[in-house]
Amino acid sequence: MAKRYWLMKCEPSAYSISDLARDGETSWEGVRNFQARNLMRDEMSLGDPVLFYASNADPSGVSGLATITRAGYPDTFAWKQGHKYFDAGSTPAAPIWFMVDVGFVEAFAATVPLATLKATKGLEDMKVVQKGSRLSVQPVTKQEYDIVVRLGRKTRKTVENTA
């Protein structure tokens, strides 16, 4: 299966790239949007690269890189009564919600802000820069991924060169 590239959003107050760096790996549970669920369940594969996006942050933007370490599987939190992700309609026999596991790859020295993404040639069609795009899991092209990685690593080199 061909490698696919992704952008996954999370609020830093819930889970940040620093948290992922500390933990090494985590489950990406709690997605309760059918389109995002379908992408995780049907299209994400082991080893797919991920742009880790800090949403509702100051600034919002790509804060680092991750990788899919486990392809889509049922979100077991949906079965835990009393849990914030509980869904009475989801059962082990007929799961509704799915999750993936992600592993830490790299934290950028500084977030690549959404404003920079919007202003960068080659990212005009990237879903995250489109008005009204709120999906927490989004496909990106290899070209978009590579451009964002260059932007993130350029920031690091600038910081290192001034130190």
Q: pLDDT by residue for the chain (163 residues), tens digit each? A: 679 999 999 999 999 999 999 999 999 999 999 999 999 999 999 999 999 999 999 999 999 999 999 999 999 999 999 999 999 999 999 999 999 999 999 999 999 999 999 999 999 999 999 988 888 999 999 999 999 999 999 864 444 444 4
Residue ranges making up the domain that contains 11: 5-162
Task: Please give the pLDDT value at position 154.
Answer: 87
Q: Write out 17-36 in H/E/C secondary structure.
A: HHHHHHHCEEEECCCCCHHH
DSSP code at position 75? -
Structural tokens at position 108: 């950028």
Q: What is the CATH number of the domain that holds 59?
A: 3.10.590.10
Integer Cα distance of 157 and 42 in angstroms: 37
Residue with tokens 């130190």: 163
Query: What is the value of pTM for the model shown?
Result: 0.91
Structural tokens at position 90: 């989801």
- The backbone torsions φ and ψ at residue 66, rounded to the nearest 5 degrees and listed phi first, read -140, 180
Task: Please give the pLDDT value at position 75.
Answer: 96
Structural domains of the chain, count:
1
CB contact at 8 A, 106 and 149: no
Task: Please give the pLDDT value at position 117.
Answer: 97
Task: Please give the pLDDT value at position 64.
Answer: 97
- The backbone torsions φ and ψ at residue 63, rounded to the nearest 5 degrees and listed phi first, read -105, -10
